[in-house]
Structure 1
Amino acid sequence: MRNVRVAISIAGSDSIGGAGIQADLKTFSAFGVYGTTAITAVTAQNTFGVSNSLVLPGKLVYDQIRAVAEDSGIDAGKTGMLGNVEVIQSVTGAVKEYGFPLVLDPVMIAKSGASLLEKGAIEALKRKLIPESMCVTPNLDEVRVLAEREVRNVEEMMDAAEFISGEFGCEAVLVKGGHLNSPVAKDVLYYRGKIYEFESQRVEGCYHGTGCSLSAGIAAGLALGLGLVKAVERAKEMLDFGIRYSAKAGRGCDSVNPVAIMERKSLAFEMLGEMRQAVERLSRIENATKIVPEVGMNIAYAMPFRYLKSVDDVLSLDGRIVRGKNRLAIPAGFEFGASRHLSRALIAYMQHFPEYRAVINVRYDERLMERLRNAGLKLASYDRRDEPEDVKRREGATIPWGIQTAIEKSGRRPDVIYHLGDFGKEPMILIFAKSPVELVEMLEAILEGY
């Protein structure tokens, strides 16, 4: 008796790994679904485009589906590039025979403009495979082919989705509005006579594998037993993360990162454990109360640079460390985005030194500065009085300006960046390291006998 849910990707291979079966398998893994494949075509492809392709014989595609269905069974499937009439007919026969719910991504043209479906195969797609599909996921260009109409707004997307469902007999149609000229990205699902809208923040740029990952995510949700609407919601959430934290693997379009949502959760769990260990050790350092600034102290730990987009990707204490009676008074909780000042400093620093993901702020003191120098740490500084007026006027710009200025003046990677304050601003020392535990180890050595 198997202990996993099984989904199959019936699609082409993408040699750069950002779309096709490679993207689908990553997506299945992100959902905890066991991924299987029936390869329809082999493409020579990268983030710039498709340079060559070979569609496999329809019988071979059918045999791949049969091999999976007769062994593990198939809980849900999805299609991508099908190539020609022969493959469409073979896939249609397999879906009828084995009866699994199918999400059909009607791939016709690659993002680069290369044709991925023979013109004569469009009618076969419409009249043979779409009627056997549970959900079809066309983008606006594909809608124009399937519905033979222009789509310029959300209302026309709704009409087109209903038309395609009624005309070709599929249960649901998800029209993707990513190419619509609007401030937000909106998709429209027509399902059993109802319209559902899904809205997400538009992220500017070029992204490889969006359609593949979305349809694979829906199929994964169906394989897990989710209803279609919930499966679309989960797939959209995955895709939003995958675009926001896309992989810059090639020199062309970024590739969607389907496992981003899973990786971030895993990283956050690991980071929380490291922070707890670091703060517990910090609490035991003798004389640590002497380095707490008047404004309080905090420690921050950023996601790896690939996942670092904003202060919400930086973990810190949910509150400031202050002086207690003979010991540090440390807040109990941790939260991403809690210390915006330290987060901005760390983000600015990581633009130059991405492996150094941790920072702590401590009180400026000449004796402490001397110990930092004696420990062999490299120091750099900036003068807040030199801050340009336009920087002062921009919310949150002061600290990044200061970090950038100090690094440029230093000409190398400083371990420590400090400033001597300004009117109403306390002097401060920032110490950077690769991890919070490394930061605390540095402080343990520096504060011995302080």
Structure 2
Amino acid sequence: MILVVAGLDPSAGAGIFQDIKVISALGLRAYGVVSAFTVQNEKRVFSVNFREWDVMRREIEVLPTPKVIKIGLSLPAVVKKLREMFPSSRIVWNVILSSSSGFKFLDPETVDKFTEYADYVILNSEEARYLELKENFIVTGGHETGRSVRVRFRGKDFEIPRVSGEFHGTGCAFSSAFSGFLALNYSAEEAILAAMDLVRKILLRSQGDSVETEKLLREWYKHDVLNSLDEILPEFLEIGPLTVPEVGQNISYALPWAQTEFEVGKFPGRIRLKEGKAVAVSSASFKDRSHTARMAIAIMQFHPHMRCTVNVKYKKEYVERAEKKGLRVFRYDRSKEPSEVREKEGESMKWMIEQAISQLKSPPDVIYDEGWWGKEAMIRVFGRDPREVLEKIKLMLEG
């Protein structure tokens, strides 16, 4: 467990919010106590109000003993108090003398008196000039120029390629990542390297001037989408002889923020019939193109929660059962497609969905057509996720 004692930055780019985001990204449990309230945004700090130890102590003493304590913007005496309270915990103090906009937080001479109570003191190279450097100092070079960022610790330099841009909160992100890796039993040197790599990956995903650690959650979403597809594939293969059309079948499941078909999970090569059995050519992937992926993107423009689309071979009784079971069904007449829609790749699917939503006044469960010149008759089933779509298809198959 990691205890975070840090200032509250309302912009969430730095301070206790950023600390907890980074630690959570490592899958670790973080407890937090606010040590200072600030009025600030990504550009400027307007004021700070430090909290007194006696108030903070009551909040801390009811929590479990932490393995690592990460201290951010706090009165320097807080470091000593925490060392006395938790003598066996490792303390990482991210010293912040002033903001990048020039707001003065702490006096260097006062800070110097308390650095010995921390196992590791992290600060940037500009602030290090004002303090008496000690063996436990980790000096970051993010404010320096050059193609790489250097971190110095006990006479050794660690380097990593620089991500272009000016970001608010890199010091908090690095010190929190370092604390997290310490909690995972990394040595200090390995924790520095791992923290540098993690922060670089965060910055590569960040936009504007904020450290957007939350973007790492998108990696989890990608895994979840593909895992959801792979897990449910056997059930689709089992009913495949009844549902796979001549052109093949695909189960497309979009990421919540999807804008293109390459942000939609699917089965490259489609599900096809071989000797009467359904087979998948590939496991789920974001690669390859798919009509159902484009349809998922199209319906999400109107109803973002409808992230999954599956095509099913057309049978009149399937449509009748869907209507009887209460599914919202729309019949699409391809003969009424405007020529400009029919001639442009991908436009017919969007136009079809627009017509369905306009008539049904709600998200469609099923859109079907009875074929056209060179077009196989087809049923499309829509839902929130592959499981919901599968259940809708099963309703169509039940006699």
TM-score relative to the length of structure 2: 0.70
8 A Cα contact 1:109 1:115, kept in partner: yes
Tell me by how many angstroms 1:300 deviates.
2.0
- Per the alignment, residue 438 of structure 1 pairs with 388
Tell me by how many angstroms 1:77 deviates.
3.0
Quote the Cα distance in structure 1 between the aligned partners of 2:366 and 2:96.
55
Match status 1:75 vs 2:36: no
- Per the alignment, residue 334 of structure 1 pairs with 283
- Per the alignment, residue 160 of structure 2 pairs with 198
Match status 1:12 vs 2:4: no
Quote the Cα distance in structure 2 between the aligned partners of 1:116 and 1:284.
67
Counterpart of 1:106, as a letter, is I
Match status 1:302 vs 2:254: yes
Tell me by how many angstroms 1:37 deviates.
4.2
Question: Could you report, residue by residue, the CA deviation over 1:364-388 in whole angstroms, capped at 9, with x for unpaired residues?
Answer: x585896598553235679696369
Tell me by how many angstroms 1:199 deviates.
4.1
Counterpart of 1:39, as a letter, is V
Question: Could you report, residue by residue, the CA deviation over 1:80-112 in whole angstroms, capped at 9, with x for unpaired residues?
Answer: 223xxxx224425755994724252536327xx
Question: Could you report, residue by residue, the CA deviation over 1:342-378 in whole angstroms, capped at 9, with x for unpaired residues?
Answer: 4454344324322112111345x58589659855323
Match status 1:292 vs 2:287: no
CA gap of 1:388–1:366, structure 2 versus 1, over 3 A, is: closer
CA gap of 1:20–1:309, structure 2 versus 1, over 3 A, is: farther
Match status 1:352 vs 2:302: yes
Quote the Cα distance in structure 1 between the aligned partners of 2:372 and 2:210.
43
Counterpart of 2:284, as a letter, is E
Match status 1:88 vs 2:79: no
Question: Could you report, residue by residue, the CA deviation over 1:253-296 in whole angstroms, capped at 9, with x for unpaired residues?
Answer: 878345944x854884587357533x33333337525x4242x2
Counterpart of 1:434, as a letter, is R
Give secondary structure in 2 for the equivalent of 1:334.
Answer: coil
Counterpart of 2:296, as a letter, is L
Quote the Cα distance in structure 1 between the aligned partners of 2:103 and 2:133.
25
Counterpart of 1:282, as a letter, is F
CA gap of 1:286–1:10, structure 2 versus 1, over 3 A, is: closer
8 A Cα contact 1:239 1:258, kept in partner: no
Tell me by how many angstroms 1:42 deviates.
2.6
CA gap of 1:438–1:208, structure 2 versus 1, over 3 A, is: farther
Counterpart of 1:324, as a letter, is K
Identity of aligned residues (%): 21
Counterpart of 1:76, as a letter, is V
Match of residue 218, structure 1, among 175, 178, 184: 178
Question: Could you report, residue by residue, the CA deviation over 1:148-168 in whole angstroms, capped at 9, with x for unpaired residues?
Answer: 9xxxxxxxxxxxxxxx9x956
Give secondary structure in 2 for the equivalent of 1:378.
Answer: strand
Matches within 5 A, 1:213-362: 213-235=173-195, 239=199, 256-258=212-214, 260-261=216-217, 265=220, 268=223, 272=227, 276-277=231-232, 279-285=233-239, 288=242, 291-294=244-247, 296-303=248-255, 305=256, 308=258, 314-317=264-267, 319-331=269-281, 334-341=283-290, 342-362=292-312
8 A Cα contact 2:252 2:265, kept in partner: yes
Q: CA RMSD in A?
A: 5.1
Quote the Cα distance in structure 1 between the aligned partners of 2:236 and 2:195.
41
Quote the Cα distance in structure 2 between the aligned partners of 1:420 and 1:207.
55
Question: Could you report, residue by residue, the CA deviation over 1:24-82 in whole angstroms, capped at 9, with x for unpaired residues?
Answer: 23443443444344532134567897676421235766x579958xx955433323223
8 A Cα contact 2:28 2:180, kept in partner: yes
- Per the alignment, residue 157 of structure 1 pairs with none
Give unpaired runs (5+ residues) of structure 2. none
- Per the alignment, residue 141 of structure 2 pairs with 175
CA gap of 1:106–1:349, structure 2 versus 1, over 3 A, is: farther
Give secondary structure in 1 for the equivalent of 2:329.
Answer: coil
Quote the Cα distance in structure 2 between the aligned partners of 1:284 and 1:417.
23
- Per the alignment, residue 129 of structure 1 pairs with 115
CA gap of 1:124–1:362, structure 2 versus 1, over 3 A, is: same
Match status 1:21 vs 2:16: yes
- Per the alignment, residue 92 of structure 2 pairs with 102
Matches within 5 A, 1:135-154: 136-138=122-124, 143-147=125-129
8 A Cα contact 1:131 1:169, kept in partner: no
CA gap of 1:52–1:193, structure 2 versus 1, over 3 A, is: closer
8 A Cα contact 2:254 2:308, kept in partner: yes
Give secondary structure in 2 for the equivalent of 1:215.
Answer: helix
- Per the alignment, residue 156 of structure 1 pairs with none
8 A Cα contact 1:417 1:431, kept in partner: yes
CA gap of 1:426–1:239, structure 2 versus 1, over 3 A, is: farther
When the two structures are aligned, how many residues end up with a matched partner?
Answer: 387
Quote the Cα distance in structure 1 between the aligned partners of 2:33 and 2:253.
43
TM-score relative to the length of structure 1: 0.64
